[in-house]
Amino acid sequence: MNIEQSVQVLRELVSVSLLVASPILAVSVSVGVAVSLIQAVTSVQEASLTFIPKVAALGTVMVVTSPWILKTLMTFTISYLNRLPEAVR
The b-or-e profile of 53-62 (16+ CB within 10 A means b, else e) is ebeebbeebe
Angle between helices 3-42 and 47-88 (to 10 degrees): 170
Share of the chain above pLDDT 90, in %: 63
Query: What would the pLDDT profile of 61-73 be if each residue is shown by its tens digit?
Result: 999 999 999 999 9
Q: How far apart are CA 66 and CA 60, in angstroms?
A: 10
- Encode pLDDT of 32-52 as tens digits: 999 989 988 988 888 778 889
Instruction: Return the SS3 of 2.
Output: coil
